[in-house]
Structure 1
């Protein structure tokens, strides 16, 4: 289904990830680091649909085409948590503005927009003009790609793959990660939109072997690092969480370094997001060899 042509760009809304990947896969693969979130979610949900797991009817996938029909942008609305913010990849400015009008015409209430700048900012600003309200920044994020890995000073212990038997601790730490990240960035806990994946989703991730603990000399878990399966050859690291009592001992640096090494050994390019307000995390990742690629933001529309 296509939105009316307001500009030289055409907005094509796809109801499912399979149709979206068929239309936009080559575009995503051409810049797989910048596309990592959208590509990763599309591949994951397409696999779930193949297994008979239904997706919410509110979900959509966006392909932006220019006047010649070439794909020049993409996005999605698949967030499982309120206010279900769309996530936008780079697209022409006129397309980001046209998307705001298309969503308004579709009767969708959009109170937040995430993704690459300036597309997310332009879309949110136009939505605020159309529906009323002001745009506020919830979080400034930055996407980084690993160049040459620089190993940190060794820490005691080592990496252990988390299993389904660890689902309780992983669930607990996943939730703590989001709240602590807010506090470390100077925001109130819960200020950032997000939701801990349900146990079924966490079990799927654990079965895939893509979550690891750093364990100390006694075998006690002291840190959690996760990673997404590669999409178009790019794997994204996250979450990265150390409980407060265990911080400052090098667990995170060593865990992220070893996970990154393993991903590169598999042939993947490796990337991760940082919160620009978290100076400690940005410093750690820069020391490991991660370099900035693109700035993104999570925006909210306040009435």
Structure 2
């Protein structure tokens, strides 16, 4: 086995997408991040490092990436492919701040990367990938609509608060506004409006290989407990499902409320993931 790194998103997409297409739900995060990078809407402050793993016949058998704002993303990488990936990333990004993947692969990577770079590591997040089963509509006061550029003044502080809440602060006001505008222009951001106020936002990724992932989902604290997030997530889910795509999303296992909400809509667990931070 051998792993190779590149900064060329388009070349990486051409190389690894046939492999990742075999399980587009499990590989959704990697697929959408690469797709956004190719289309110029992955707004990291430094170039992304893309890594492909090849067998002795030079066939792709694994793919991962490192993003400055998200760390090392192992996606569905099997544990036995961690060593060649580690060799490449320990050289390319020795200061990487985190790794995210399945429990076995992420733990093995964290142990070996920590030993190689002389750093300790600790769990900072546990999440679960879900896919939509039988859809169940949800109700709340108000209505759903696509976000517009006119909503940006309301959505910018809302999205900044979301980033802070999930542990990804520091992207800056301009980066937040750019992220929002890019999604608004592509019809990938929705809001729930009640009494003339925008009270919840829900985004979604671009469909890749017939799979589309919902997120982010955020309701400011003062508007919570009224079913807005449930209703808007359900609305967006139905819209995406009716377009013919399989719908999935990630949940934070530390947030039982959101997990209950998504289960009520019809989402069912696929696989758990863990993130380790290095220090």
Given the alignment, which residue of 114, 119, 125 partners 1:133? 119
Cα distance per residue 1:206-238 (max 9 Å; x no partner): 11111111111x232111111111112111111
The secondary structure found in structure 2 opposite 1:86 is: strand
Cα distance per residue 1:247-291 (max 9 Å; x no partner): 111111111111000001111111111000101111111111101
RMSD: 2.1
1:67 offset after TM fit, Å? 2.5
The secondary structure found in structure 1 opposite 2:226 is: coil
2:147 and 2:77 mapped to 1: Cα distance?
38
1:57 offset after TM fit, Å? 5.7
Matched, 1:24 2:16: yes
Given the alignment, which residue of 237, 253, 276 partners 2:253? 276
2:264 and 2:90 mapped to 1: Cα distance?
44
2:141 and 2:46 mapped to 1: Cα distance?
48
Partner of residue 88, structure 1 = 74
Matched, 1:255 2:232: yes
Paired residues, what number? 276
Q: Is the CA contact 1:100–1:124 (under 8 Å) kept in the aligned structure 2? A: no
Q: Please identify, of 230-239 and 197-206, the stretch whose mean Cα deviation from structure 2 is larger.
A: 197-206
The secondary structure found in structure 2 opposite 1:30 is: coil
Partner of residue 114, structure 1 = 100
Q: Is the CA contact 1:90–1:117 (under 8 Å) kept in the aligned structure 2? A: no
Segments of 5+ residues of structure 2 without an aligned counterpart are none
Cα distance per residue 1:128-176 (max 9 Å; x no partner): 1112222201110111111111123x21211011111111211111121
Matched, 1:213 2:191: yes
TM-score (norm 2): 0.91
Given the alignment, which residue of 47, 63, 72 partners 1:74? 63
Given the alignment, which residue of 16, 22, 33 partners 1:41? 33
2:79 and 2:169 mapped to 1: Cα distance?
27
1:194 offset after TM fit, Å? 5.2
1:56 offset after TM fit, Å? 6.0
Q: Is the CA contact 1:213–1:222 (under 8 Å) kept in the aligned structure 2? A: yes
The secondary structure found in structure 2 opposite 1:198 is: helix
1:18 offset after TM fit, Å? 0.6
TM-score (norm 1): 0.84
